[in-house]
Structure 1
Amino acid sequence: MRVLLVEDDRMISDATGQALRDAAYAVDCVSDGGAAQLSVNTHQYDVILLDLGLPRLDGFHVLRHLRDHKIATPVLILTARDSLEDRVRGLDAGADDYLIKPFEMDELLARMRAVIRRHGGNSSPVMSNGAIRLDPSTREMEFERTSQRLSAREFSLMQSLLLRPGAILSRQDLEDRIYGWNEEVESNAVEYLIHSIRKKFGNAVIKNVRGLGWMVSKEK
């Protein structure tokens, strides 16, 4: 999944961004409201982590821009502003959740999983197409009575496919969801990950559509 982290404190941005990458997210980082607006206008994200006290345009302005332009991407506000007025204002402006700094990464990751579930209309914490079960909290995957823990990249690929079972995702689609801006991508990186997952679970777990990409079957 791809995350936009909007944070002007370099230390917080670096630490949070690395923790998110370790948790299998592709992360793009920007440090001001103008860059945030440009990013959401030109890229698709699964969730946005938004500070309020930003240079150029503050977080409330960015949030209004998103909702005024019908961009429904889940937004989780990360801020040191802990007043009731700011919390109410943020949620009423269209934020999906509000987390006060300093925060624990485990809580941030749990809240991200929750808002992504709600956005996808899924109440279950486990992703499934009927045949595959994927637990985002542990990266455990089960298929045909085989259960194994995936690597961060493997998990990110399977999560992307299970978000849209039955849809064919191209190499570029998957690269966009697995890798952030500054991450070098080998030409065969997606094929290598798919080979690794098939080695664990068998070739039937991911279907190849020749010349188009890959998919997992729709729920039965």
Structure 2
Amino acid sequence: MKILLIEDDAVIGDAIKSSLEKADYLVEWAKNGLEGEIALTDSQFEAVILDLGLPKKHGLDILKNLRSKKNQFPVLIISANENIDNKILGLDLGADDYLAKPFELQELHARLRAVIRRTNQSADNVIQFGPLSFNIKDRKFLAQNKELSLSKRELNLLELFMLKNNRSISKENLLEKLYSWDEDVSENAIEVYIHRVRAKLKPFGVEIINRRGLGYSLGLQTP
């Protein structure tokens, strides 16, 4: 799962990025408002963690511009400004949650999971597809009650398919969501990971289907 962190404080940003990466998130870190806006234009994310008091462009301006373009992915505001008017304005502009600094990283993780869960209309932490289940909180896949052994990139790939609720994802979108903007990768890299994940899903009757002209999605093998 690819997360955009827009935070100018080096200490806070590094702590958030490191903790999320340990939880197997792919994190792109923009260190000012302008970098954040460029990243939102160039890449696709499952969620955004947004500071407000940013240099070069204020976080509320980024949020307002984002929602004006009908981008609906979840936004979690983090800010040292606990003024109630700021909180109300941020939520009214389209933020999904507001977390005041300082905070515990465990709470940040929990709130991030919650806004992602709400966006994907999952009533609990588990998403199901046939014999395959994904626990958003633990970030683990089970197939017929057996945990799948997946590399970080394989986990992120399969997670994308589960969160898309069986909608097709183009190869270009997969590249954007699985890699940072500064990583030099080819479309063949996606093929390699799709092949590996296919092999791990096959014994459980789940497959990755290539829908010509549309992209890839999960499917169930017919008997």
Report TM bin, short chain: 0.7 to 0.9
Could you tell me how far apart the structure 1 residues matched to 2:70 and 2:211 are?
35
Where does the alignment leave 5 or more consecutive residues of structure 1 unmatched? none
Q: Deviations over 1:165-218 (max 9, x none)?
A: 433334433232222223454775444444544554435433242877542127
Correspondence 1:32-111 to 2 at 5 A: 32-111=32-111
**Counterpart for residue 133 of structure 2:** 133
1:51 is displaced (CA, Å) by 0.4
CA-atom RMSD in angstroms: 2.6
Residues 187 and 57 (structure 1 numbering): CA distance in 2 closer, same or farther, change over 3 Å? closer
Report the counterpart of residue 164 of structure 2 in structure 1: 164
Are 1:113 and 2:113 matched, yes or no?
A: yes
Q: Which amino acid in structure 2 is aligned with residue 178 of structure 1?
A: L
Q: TM-score, normalised by structure 2?
A: 0.83
CA distance 1:85–1:131, shift in 2 (3 Å): same
SS at structure 1 position matched to 2:12: helix
Amino acid at match of 1:125: N
Give the secondary-structure state (helix, strand or coil) at the position aligned to 1:110. helix
Q: How far apart, CA to CA, are the structure 2 residues paired with 1:105 and 1:206?
A: 36
- How many residue pairs align between the two structures? 218
TM-superposed CA distance for 1:63, in Å, is 1.3
TM-score (norm. length: structure 1): 0.84
Secondary structure, aligned partner of 2:8:
coil
Mapped to 2, the partners of 1:103 and 1:189 lie a distance apart of 37
> Counterpart amino acid of 1:19?
S
Flag the 1:186–1:23 CA change in 2: closer, same or farther, 3 A: farther
Partner Cα separation in structure 2 for residue 145 and residue 34 of structure 1: 45
Sort the Cα spacing of 1:12 and 1:42 in 2 relative to 1 into closer, same or farther, 3 A: same
Q: Deviations over 1:24-56 (max 9, x none)?
A: 222222122222223223332211111010112
Give the percent of matched residue pairs that are identical in Structure 1 and Structure 2.
Answer: 36
One-letter identity of the residue aligned with 1:217: G
The question of whether the paired residues in 1 share the 8 Å contact of 2:46 and 2:116 is answered with: yes
d(CA) in 1 for partners of 2:47, 2:5? 9
Aligned-partner residue type, residue 219 of structure 2: S
Task: Give distance in 2, aligned partners of 1:44 and 1:124.
Answer: 25
SS in 2 for 1:121: coil
Match of 2:28 in 1: 28
Distance in 2, matches of 1:158 and 1:71, equals 23
Whole-Å Cα distance in 2 between the matches of residues 22 and 100 of structure 1?
Answer: 23
Q: Deviations over 1:54-112 (max 9, x none)?
A: 11221111111112222222110011112323222221222110112222222212211
Tell me the SS of whatever aligns to 1:217: strand
**Which residue of structure 2 aligns with residue 216 of structure 1?**
218
Distance 2:184 2:24 in 1: 15
* In 2: Cα distance, 1:9 partner to 1:84 partner: 22
Q: What SS does structure 2 have at the residue aligned with 1:202?
A: helix
Q: Is the 8 A contact 2:44 2:173 kept in 1?
A: no
Query: Residue 178 of structure 2 corresponds to which residue in structure 1?
Result: 178
